[in-house]
Chains A and B, each alone.
Chain A
Amino acid sequence: MSVASRSSRAMEVLRAMLEPRLDARAQEWLALACDECSRLPDRAEVRFPTLISLASRKVPRGALEPSNSAREAARELVPGWNPERWTILDAARAMLVLSRAHLDGPQAVAILDEVFRHADVGELCALHRSLQLLPDNARFAWRAGEGCRSSMGAVYEAAACDTGLPCARFDDLAWRQLVVKALFVGAPVARIHGLDQRLDAELARMVLDLVDERRSAGRGIPPGAWACLGAHGGLRARDSMLRELDRGQAAGRAGAILGLARAGHADLVAGHAAGGESDPLVLAALSSARSARPSQDDYAHLHGL
């Protein structure tokens, strides 16, 4: 599929998701605004950012709640695109972005920078969510990295989670920082698309350092930390997870069980199972750890516990 037709397919998917959420007046405004975006000049200017802002005054608040078939269509079209947590406004703004003329040309980065520079929190979220839908989005990797450096969790999640852009486009440094930042801001690592494909020894070292810092400070460790090791980290990783099994809360123990299984320590998982564990969360982890090698998805329900 050509990049241009992927963008127009994304427009169709968005339109289908928005259709049941917008009344006639909002639909009319959005159609006119998209049309205006498609005729804007090939340079950074103020009308495009203004339309992105104005959308909040024309489109209702609330969750997009896309249907299962719409989510399926999104996933098939753009690897990693999961609009499950999008708002109606996110989708409307993504339509404006996809309609903007000249985002396939050499001025694309400058045109989008102009919008990002003045964006509020809601706009930042929508813009970051839109980047994955644009053609040749390696051009926007630095901008996406800015979102992954945000201390406002909503912005971080919009840039780092439920999108395939970072996994496909970030260099190793930006990627590892993104993963560790998730643990810092309390974002769910299970929703970082491609996590399991981009684990390495350096990331494991960074995560294990963070674990040690947390322990020195007497603070808990997010269960998702144990999803960031994979087969890396050697004995240090193994011992750190064993310590979590010994002293951690239930969610942490469950995360460590999954982590040990991911690292290939079937013997240690079996040993813990034999040790009289009774917490249902940990028992469930033991059961999935013995049936198959756990994936990042197995950590989703441990987030926030």
Chain B
Amino acid sequence: MRFFDPHIHMTSRTTDDLEAMSKAGVRAIIEPAFWLGQPRTSVGSFIDYWSSLVGWERFRAAQFGVAHYCAMGLNSKEANDEGLAREVLAELPRFAFKEGVVAIGEIGYDEITKAEEKAYQWQLEFAVQHDMVVMVHSPHRDKKNGIRRSIAVAKECGLSMEKLVVDHNNEETVQDVLDAGAWAAFTIYPHTKMGSERMVEIVRQYGPRRIIVDSSADWGVSDPLSVPKTARLMLERGIDPAAVELTTWQNALDAYGQSGQIDMEALLKTPVVDQRQLYHQNSVLRGQAPRVEETVPND
């Protein structure tokens, strides 16, 4: 099978992960801009980070046959440093239209402060103005209320609901998101948030429509193979294979494909890893022989 992991922070992962993902059939990923575990102190660090998402990280993933897209935005935690947030938002338009940017994200609430709301609204308005998709991070604390508010504010700003993806859902929040007409994404994290078993039951209960599975793997305890592992469990537990394909591949493509930045035809081709040819160089190698013409699982 082939998979789309529409939320993963590859900048925090190694080439071992890319190799394992590629082998497991992860064909495409989205890397949303987020915080780095501790707050940044200058706008320059944001700029260099965003640059890496459209530069080096894209290149690195391609070396393993993984198509890399990204979302650009100011995350909710760092929105609370208001002076810096103003400077960061002023730079966002320079990055939002780069090749492979499929959404504004991940944005939204952390503690649901006024400063977070200001940055969220600004970015929603920017997305509406440029007809972009929005990836919303839902808060860990006061999640249900945070999600309701995220949706309400997005509506107020004029975002159409098919352009809204709300992430990090659980059993308690999914109905609100689906009722609003938005996409409901689920992060499969070992130990926290959602596990694969719970995901199986959610797909059984709600069906596959507008439901998306992702890993959100980052610098914490997390699993870059969450999507293929959850797909396997769904199949083992009798979920219709068509529903598995929708939730681990097609729905995310439909949601983020609205950006016009995903070349569907290229994605459907069997990818060939050629570490000599992709971006024509081999800098992820340290003197190893490049892998050439190995096909990546894609069926």
| Interface residues in chain A, defined as those with a beta carbon under 8 Å from any beta carbon in chain B | 46, 49-50, 53-54, 56-57, 61, 117-118, 120-124, 151-154, 156-157, 185-187, 217, 219, 304
Question: Is the Cβ of B51 less than 8 Å from the Cβ of A154?
Answer: no
Question: Is the Cβ of A217 less than 8 Å from the Cβ of B287?
Answer: yes
| Interface residues in chain B, defined as those with a beta carbon under 8 Å from any beta carbon in chain A | 47, 51, 54-56, 58-59, 91, 93-95, 97-100, 260, 263, 276, 279-283, 287
Q: A56-B98, A156-B281, A186-B281 are in contact. Are A121 and B276 (CB under 8 A)?
A: no
Contact with B94, one of A50, A124, A154, A219 (Cβ below 8 angstroms): A50
Question: Is the Cβ of B93 less than 8 Å from the Cβ of A50?
Answer: yes
Distance A123 CA – B97 CA, assembled complex (angstroms): 12
Contacts of B93 in A (CB 8 A): 46, 50
Distance A85 CA – B216 CA, assembled complex (angstroms): 38
Contacts of B54 in A (CB 8 A): 120-121
Question: Is the Cβ of B55 less than 8 Å from the Cβ of A56?
Answer: no
Question: Is the Cβ of B94 less than 8 Å from the Cβ of A153?
Answer: no
- A122-B99, A185-B282 provided; 16 other pairs, C-beta below 8 A? A46-B93, A46-B94, A50-B94, A50-B97, A53-B94, A53-B97, A56-B99, A120-B51, A120-B99, A121-B279, A153-B279, A154-B280, A154-B281, A185-B280, A187-B280, A217-B287
Q: A152-B55, A152-B59 are in contact. Are A118 and B95 (CB under 8 A)?
A: yes
Distance A170 CA – B58 CA, assembled complex (angstroms): 30
Contacts of A157 in B (CB 8 A): 280
Distance A156 CA – B282 CA, assembled complex (angstroms): 12
Smallest CB-CB separation from A118: which chain B residue? B94
Instruction: Sample 29 A-B pairs with CB under 8 A, ordered by A number.
Output: A46-B93, A50-B93, A53-B97, A56-B99, A61-B263, A118-B91, A118-B94, A120-B98, A120-B100, A121-B54, A121-B55, A121-B59, A121-B279, A151-B281, A151-B283, A152-B56, A152-B279, A154-B281, A156-B280, A157-B280, A185-B280, A185-B281, A185-B282, A186-B276, A186-B281, A186-B282, A187-B280, A217-B287, A304-B276
Distance A73 CA – B100 CA, assembled complex (angstroms): 34
Distance A124 CA – B54 CA, assembled complex (angstroms): 11
Distance A157 CA – B281 CA, assembled complex (angstroms): 10
Contacts of A117 in B (CB 8 A): 47
Q: How far is the CB of B283 from chain A (nearest CB, A)?
A: 4
Contacts of A124 in B (CB 8 A): 55
Closest 8 CB pairs of A and B: A153-B281, A153-B280, A120-B54, A151-B283, A53-B97, A185-B281, A56-B99, A120-B98
Contacts of B260 in A (CB 8 A): 57
Distance A151 CA – B281 CA, assembled complex (angstroms): 7
Contacts of A153 in B (CB 8 A): 279-283
Contacts of A61 in B (CB 8 A): 263
Q: How far is the CB of B129 from chain A (nearest CB, A)?
A: 13
Contacts of B99 in A (CB 8 A): 56, 120, 122
Q: How far is the CB of A300 from chain B (nearest CB, A)?
A: 15
Q: How far is the CB of A101 from chain B (nearest CB, A)?
A: 20
Q: How far is the CB of A163 from chain B (nearest CB, A)?
A: 16
Question: Is the Cβ of B97 less than 8 Å from the Cβ of A56?
Answer: yes
Contact with A185, one of B47, B51, B283 (Cβ below 8 angstroms): B283
Q: How far is the CB of A282 from chain B (nearest CB, A)?
A: 22
Q: How far is the CB of B205 from chain A (nearest CB, A)?
A: 39
Distance A217 CA – B95 CA, assembled complex (angstroms): 42
Question: Is the Cβ of B97 less than 8 Å from the Cβ of A154?
Answer: no
Question: Is the Cβ of B279 less than 8 Å from the Cβ of A118?
Answer: no
Smallest CB-CB separation from B50: which chain A residue? A118
Distance A117 CA – B94 CA, assembled complex (angstroms): 11
Q: How far is the CB of A25 from chain B (nearest CB, A)?
A: 14
